[in-house]
Structure 1
Amino acid sequence: MDLKSLLHRLDGRSRLLVHALHSGPNNAQTVYNKQRASDPDFSLAPFLETLCQQEARVHEDALVSKPLVCLFSEVFKRNLLCFLHLIHTKLPKQSILHLLQSLSQDHSENQWSYVLIKQLYRDIEGTGKETLLTPKCTEKLKDLCERFRDNNMKGRWASCLQGIGKEQADDQTVQSQKKRKSDNIDLDVEDEEDVHQSKRVRIDFCTDKEEEKLTGEQEQSQMSTSHCVDHGAASKPQTHLLGSTKVLPDHIKAAVPVIKEMLDTESGWDKSSVSALKVLHECDPDEVDVLCSMLSLSEAPEQSLPQFCSCLLELSPDLSHSTASAVITNLLLNKILSLEEPASRCLVTGVMSLCTRYPRPTCQALIEPVLRKEQTGSCQAELLCKLVEDCLEPHHRLHVFRTILEVSWDEGVLLVIHALLDSKLELNEEDFSLFIDQLCSQSPHFSKSMKFAKIMLSVLTKYQSYVNAACHRTLSSCLPLNETFLKKSLLAALKRISL
Structure 2
Amino acid sequence: MECTPVSNCEEDVQHFLRVLDSGSLDAMTAVGSLQNFYGPFFWEKMTKMLCSEIPTSEGLDGKLTLKPALLFLTVHLQRNLFRFLNLSISLVPPKSISLLVKALNRQEGSLDAWLLTLSRELVAETEIQKSPSSPQVMKQLQSVCSELCHFGNEHSKLGWLKQDAKTTKRKWTEDFDESPLKRKEEGPRIKKLCFKRLTTEDETLSTACHKQTPTKVERTLEIPETFKLHMTRLRELFHVEGESLQSWSDTFHVDLKELCESCSSEQLQSILCSLGVEQLSPQSLLQFCCHLHSLSPDLSFSQSSVLANLLFRKKVLSLTFPAPRPLLAALSMFCMKYARSACNMLIEPLLQADTGALQTDFLCRMITECLQPEQLSLCFGPILKVPLCEGSLSVLYTLLEKQGVISCSEFELLLTSLCQSADNCCKSVQFSKLLMTIMRKNQSLILPSHLGPLTNAINCNQTFLKKSLQGAFNRLQESRT
What TM-score comes out, normalization by structure 1 length? 0.50
Give the Cα separation in 2 of the matches to 1:409 and 1:474.
17
Distance 1:411 1:108, change over 3 A: farther
Deviation of 1:335 after TM superposition, in Å, equals 0.9
Matches within 5 A, 1:140-179: none
Runs of 4+ aligned structure 1 residues displaced above 6 Å come to: 102-105, 112-115, 220-223
Q: How does 1:56-71 map to 2 (within 5 A)?
A: none
- Residues 355, 387 of structure 1: 8 Å contact kept: no
Structure 1 unaligned spans of 5+: 1-101, 116-219, 229-239
- Partner of residue 284, structure 1: 264
C-alpha distance in 1 between matches for 2:190 and 2:403:
45
Deviations 1:377-414 (A, max 9, x none): 22222222222233334554223212323221111111
Residues 415-457 of structure 1, C-alpha deviations (whole Å, 9 max, x = no match): 1101221134654545433322321222222222221111011
Change (3 A) 1:474 1:309: same
Equivalent position of 2:450 in the other structure? 471
Amino acid at match of 1:465: S
Question: How many residues are treated as equivalent by the alignment?
Answer: 279
Unaligned runs of 5+ in 2: 1-186, 201-209
Provide the residue aligned with 2:235 in structure 1.
260
Q: Contact (CA 8 Å) 2:376, 2:403: kept in 1 or not?
A: no
Aligned to 1:248: 223
Q: In structure 2, the residue corresponding to 1:374 is in which secondary structure?
A: coil
Partner of 2:30: none
Matches within 5 A, 1:324-363: 324-363=304-343
Letter in 2 for 1:494: F
Q: Distance in 2 between matches of 1:285 and 1:473?
A: 47
Indicate yes or no: 2:277 matched with 1:297: yes
Cα shift at 1:105: 8.3
Offset of 1:339 from its aligned partner? 2.0
Identity of aligned residues (%): 31
Q: Is the 8 A contact 1:440 1:478 kept in 2?
A: yes
Q: In structure 1, the residue corresponding to 2:387 is in which secondary structure?
A: coil
Cα 1:287–1:443 change in 2 (3 A) is same
Confirm or deny that 1:111 pairs with 2:212.
no
Please name the residue that 2:55 is paired with: none
Q: How does 1:25-424 map to 2 (within 5 A)?
A: 109-111=194-196, 224-225=214-215, 241-244=218-221, 247-266=222-241, 267-268=244-245, 269-278=248-257, 279-371=259-351, 373-394=352-373, 396-424=375-403
Distance of 1:379 and 1:104 partners within structure 2: 58
Aligned letter for 2:327? L
Question: In structure 2, what is the Cα distance between the partners aligned to 1:221 and 1:325?
Answer: 27
Whole-angstrom CA distance in 2 between matches of 1:112 and 1:462:
53
Deviations 1:45-71 (A, max 9, x none): xxxxxxxxxxxxxxxxxxxxxxxxxxx
**Offset of residue 252 of structure 1:** 1.4
Residue identity in the other structure for 1:469: P
Q: CA deviation at 1:343?
A: 1.0
Supply the AA of the counterpart residue of 1:243: T
Distance 1:391 1:303, change over 3 A: closer
Aligned equivalents of 2:193, 2:214: Cα separation in 1: 32
Find the aligned partners of 1:104 and 1:345 in 2 and give their Cα distance. Answer: 65
Indicate if the aligned counterparts of 2:289 and 2:333 stay in contact, CA closer than 8 A.
yes
> Counterparts in 2 of 1:419-438, with a 5 A limit?
419-424=398-403, 426-438=405-417
> Which secondary structure does the structure 2 equivalent of 1:483 belong to?
coil
Q: Which residue of 2 aligns with 1:169?
A: none
Aligned residue for 1:423, secondary structure, equals helix
CA separation in 2, counterparts of 1:375 and 1:446?
Answer: 18
Decide whether aligned partners of structure 1 residues 270 and 395 sit closer, same or farther in structure 2, where only a CA change above 3 A counts. Answer: same
Secondary structure in 1 aligned to 2:239? helix
1:319-354 deviation line (CA, Å, top 9, x unaligned): 222222212211211111222321122221211210
RMSD: 3.2
Number of the residue aligned with 2:433: 454
CA contact (8 A) 1:414 1:452 kept: yes
C-alpha contact 2:260 2:268 (8 A) present in aligned 1: yes
